[in-house]
Amino acid sequence: MDILYNYALRTTGNEDDARDLLQETFLKAYRFWDKYEKGTNIRAWLFRIMKNSYINRYRKETKEPDKVDYGDIENFYNTIRADYADTNDLQEKLFGNLLGDEVAKALEELPEDFRTVVILCDIEGMTYEEISEFIERPIGTVRSRLHRGRKLLQAKLFEYAKKQGIVPHD
């Protein structure tokens, strides 16, 4: 459940949306339990449900016009008057110390196909087989995307690594 929540949080970028996506995933899994093939990887099955739920939700939201809550507008003036900005971003609190700002930014800038594979392998510790089932691609594609994603990260973080003393200066 923690791995699914972490992935939902990274996918949605919002704590509440991540919880909603996780809940929706488990509800669909329960509802379609008879479709689960015993002996197969349940984690990959749950990830697939989550991915499809997220895609469906995204498609639905892009077709709906933007909505604004009147209470948000009413309180906007008080919000911008605050003397300091208090961040309640759970993702920032959870991963702010784990990944430096530069690393997190570089990871977010990766194309989604590469970012997904890098997160699932290098952060979540999933196997190639599990990732393959999740993204519904062959293991060779997983390896290729992981290799290319890591190379892109390396290129984006080279100067940062030099500043941190990880890579020697020329």
Q: Is residue 117 part of a domain?
A: yes
Q: Is residue 147 part of a domain?
A: yes
Task: From residue 106, give the alpha-carbon distance in Å to each of 49, 98, 125, 131, 158.
Answer: 27, 14, 19, 21, 11
Name the one residue in this structure whose structure tokens are 């449900």. 49
Q: Is residue 17 part of a domain?
A: no
CB neighbour list of residue 133: distance below 8 Å, 6 or more residues apart: 41, 44, 45, 47, 48
pLDDT, one tens digit per residue, over 99-145 is: 567 888 888 889 988 988 998 888 888 889 989 988 889 999 999 99
Q: Is residue 4 part of a domain?
A: no
**Rounded distance, CA 103 to CA 54, Å?**
25
User: What range defines the domain where residue 151 resides?
Assistant: 99-165
Instruction: Domain count for the chain, please give it.
Output: 1
Positions in the chain short of pLDDT 70: 59, 61-100, 169-170
CATH of the domain at 146: 1.10.10.10
Whole-structure pTM value:
0.49
Q: What is the pLDDT of residue 94?
A: 43
Q: Is residue 28 part of a domain?
A: no
Q: What is the pLDDT of residue 85?
A: 46
Cβ 23 vs Cβ 48: under 8 Å = no
Residue 73 burial (CB count, 10 A): 9
Phi, psi of 47 (to 5 degrees): -60, -40
Q: Is residue 22 part of a domain?
A: no
Using CA atoms in the order 158, 163, 165, 167, what is the torsion angle rounded to 10 degrees? 20
Q: Is residue 109 part of a domain?
A: yes
Q: Is residue 114 part of a domain?
A: yes
